[in-house]
Each structure stands twice: as C-alpha cells, then as structure tokens.
C-alpha cells in the first residue's frame, strides 16, 4: 500500500433549512394563529481518529466532502429534519489544520478523538416563533444559516515509542525486521526505505513497545533534500530516539554531527528527547578497529554496539530501549 501522510481536502457543511410561514386552518377554529415550524440544522463534518487506519490514502482520491442540508420547516409546527453529520475517519495521530487561518483545529492522537472541522448552519425559525401579544399573526420567518466551508490539511504523525534515525543504509530496516514482525524492504543501496515502517517489539510478557523505522536522512534534509524531510514529522511524537551509525563507514563522528544538526534545524525539541547512540554492523568491522571504536565516546557517553545479522547486542539494545521510554535510564546522552 502506498503510504500517504499528508492530504488537503475541501469541506462544505450543510446549510440550515428555512423556517415556514403557515397558519392553522381548522374547522370551528376561526383564529388558529401561526404554526410555521423551524428549519432543520445542516449536517456538520466531523473528523474522527481510527486506530485501524494507517494512511491518508483515501483522501487523495476524493478531495471534496459535503454534508446534507437541513430540511425546511412545515405547517402544524413541524420542524425540518436536521442533516446527517458526515464522519471522516483518519489514522490516530492526525493533525487537522485550517489552511485559510493556518491554525490547528484538532490533534487526534488517540483512537476515538474527534473534531468538528466544518459546522452545519442553524435552521431558520418559523413564524410561530415570532408570535407576540402585539403581533399575533406574524407573516415572516428566517432562512437557514449557511454551513461552514473551509479547506483543511490532514497531517499524519505516526505514533511510536521509539524512532530509529540514521543515514541511508545505516541498518534501520534490518534492525526493525529482527526485533519485530515488520518486514521492510532491505537492499545494499541507499533509500530502500521509502515510507516509515512500524513494528511492535516484545520485551517480555506484558512488555511491548512500538518502534518506527524512519527513511534515511541526509545533510540538508530539513531543507527538503533527500527523502527524510517528508518523514521527520513522524519522530516528533516518539518518546525516545535511537541514532544508528554505520560501523563499516569512515567518518562516524561526522555522520553523528550531521544527524544531530538536521534534527536540531528541523525542530530543536527533538534533541530534548532521550536517545541512544548505536554503532551497527559490528560483524563486518575488523576486531582491532572495533576495539578502538569501543573506547570512543559519542556525546559524552559510550555508544552501544550491535550486529542485527549475528544478533550481537540486539537483546541488550531492546532492553535499553524499554528502560529509556519508561524513564528508567537517560540514554547515552
């Protein structure tokens, strides 16, 4: 399935129905008086979070949504039926933003969260509502109010406990495939991950957490370069970050600085999250080189060393991730 995390749609809530001008006409009731009913309320458009959904793909096929209008009032004080609300289902973790005012209407972080994105118009009053002791036969009514009309942007930010961050080919996809049931595409060329992958990691009985494999970042990602820029939003909701550095590449320290710089330039708050630094692919590193790397510190602390292929250090990393999101440790920073 194609992963879509951003969509823009137009909404038109239903107009309210008009009130009715009517007078009672009954046998033996010479002065029945006004009995025009009120118009019904127009339908609203409501956005609701659904944890069963994982993408905004449906909203790329259809861009305009309308709610039905309210029915007009009738005689005998019969009010018009209100228009039915239209419910738009989105994945949990979706932000709803008004494009015109550039303001957030709602943050649907949890299953069942709702926000009224376009409110239906109020129905008009019938002439029975205007009767007074001095005006016992009013001959006017109200038209219904128009429903709200606006363009909104839906922005999905994945809900994960841990975000895996690294340059292309740092081993993120291999790691998530080993520690969870996720099956991302893995190959020996950059940018094999074209969309975020989510995996559920089982630590022990009753101990699980969600990890997200974010497509590789490159220098300048915060400015729109590479693939990572469009997915950086997904690590904003994570509780912790795991920065993966390719152990078989030269210049690990510079790679680490590049990643921290890109995170900071996108959002300084990302660097406030607890994080672990992990050197990957240790099975392919020469023993002497690996020995020297183990003595090197990153950000004031020694990183973890793993090989997702051989399994070295992987279980320890899983437990460290669990402790990190539980607040039992402060990571390697």
At 20-74, the pLDDT tens digits run 999 988 777 666 789 999 999 999 999 999 988 878 888 988 999 999 999 999 9
CA distance 268 to 265: 6
Does residue 281 share a domain with residue 205? yes
Does residue 192 share a domain with residue 147? no
CA distance 156 to 233: 8
- Map residue 105 onto helix, strand or coil: strand
Does residue 303 share a domain with residue 172? yes
Residue 40: inside a domain: yes
pLDDT in tens, 87-122: 999 988 899 999 999 899 999 989 999 999 999 999
Of 121, 156, 191, which one is at a domain's C-terminal end? 156
How far, CA to CA in Å, does 234 sit from each of 125, 165, 229? 48, 11, 10
How far, CA to CA in Å, does 21 sit from each of 15, 33, 36, 140, 260? 19, 11, 5, 6, 69
Residue 300 scores a pLDDT above 60: no
CATH number for the domain spanning 70: value is 2.70.210.12
pLDDT of residue 230: 62
- Give me the percent of the chain exceeding a pLDDT of 90: 39
Residue 329 scores a pLDDT above 50: yes
Does residue 140 share a domain with residue 182? no
Residue 182 scores a pLDDT above 80: no
pLDDT of residue 234: 74
- The structure tokens listed for 5 are 């995390």
Per-residue pLDDT, averaged over 187-209, amounts to 68
- Listed ranges 113-122, 127-136, 189-198, 225-234; the one with the highest mean pLDDT: 113-122
Does residue 11 contact residue 50 with C-beta atoms inside 8 Å? no
CATH number for the domain spanning 210: value is 3.40.50.300
Provide the domain count of the chain: 2
Interior/surface letters 202-239, b for 16+ CB within 10 angstroms, e for the rest = ebeeeeebbbbbbbbbbbebbeeebbbbebbbbbebbb
Does residue 289 share a domain with residue 140? no
Does residue 148 share a domain with residue 89? yes
Q: What residues make up the domain containing 266? A: 162-325
Does residue 141 share a domain with residue 218? no
Q: How confident is the model at residue 303 (pLDDT cuts 50, 70, 90)?
A: confident
Q: Which residue would you say has higher pLDDT here, 163 or 73?
A: 73
Does residue 148 share a domain with residue 16? yes
């Amino acid at each position: 399935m194609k992963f879509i995390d951003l969509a823009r749609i137009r909404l038109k809530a239903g107009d309210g129905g008009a009130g009715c001008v009517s007078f009672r006409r009954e046998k033996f009731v010479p002065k029945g008086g006004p009995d025009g009913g009120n118009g019904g309320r127009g339908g609203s458009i409501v956005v609701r979070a659904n944890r069963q959904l994982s993408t905004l793909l449906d909203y790329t096929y259809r861009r305009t949504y309308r709610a039905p209008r309210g029915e007009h009032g009738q005689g005998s004080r019969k009010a018009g039926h209100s228009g039915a609300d239209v419910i738009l289902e989105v994945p949990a973790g979706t932000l709803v933003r008004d494009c015109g005012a550039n303001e957030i209407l709602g943050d649907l972080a949890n299953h069942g969260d709702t926000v009224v994105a376009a409110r239906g118009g109020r129905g008009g009053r019938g002439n029975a509502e205007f009767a007074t002791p001095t005006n016992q036969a009013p001959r006017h009514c109200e038209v219904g109010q128009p429903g709200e009309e606006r363009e909104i942007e839906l922005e999905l930010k994945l809900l994960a406990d841990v975000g895996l961050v690294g340059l292309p080919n740092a081993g993120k996809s291999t790691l998530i495939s080993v520690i969870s049931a996720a099956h991302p595409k893995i190959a020996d060329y950059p940018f094999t991950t074209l969309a975020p992958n989510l995996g559920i990691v089982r630590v022990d009985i009753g101990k699980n957490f969600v990890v997200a494999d974010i497509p590789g970042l490159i220098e300048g990602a915060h400015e729109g370069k590479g693939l990572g820029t469009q997915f950086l939003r997904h690590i904003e909701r994570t509780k912790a970050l795991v920065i993966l550095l390719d152990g078989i590449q030269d210049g690990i320290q510079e790679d680490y600085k590049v990643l921290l710089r890109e995170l900071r330039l996108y959002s300084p708050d990302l660097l406030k999250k607890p994080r672990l630094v992990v050197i990957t692919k240790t099975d392919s590193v020469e023993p002497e080189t690996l020995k020297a790397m183990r003595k090197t510190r990153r950000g004031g602390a020694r990183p973890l060393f793993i090989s997702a292929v051989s399994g070295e250090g992987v279980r320890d990393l899983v437990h460290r991730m669990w402790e990190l999101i539980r607040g039992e440790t402060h990571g390697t920073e």
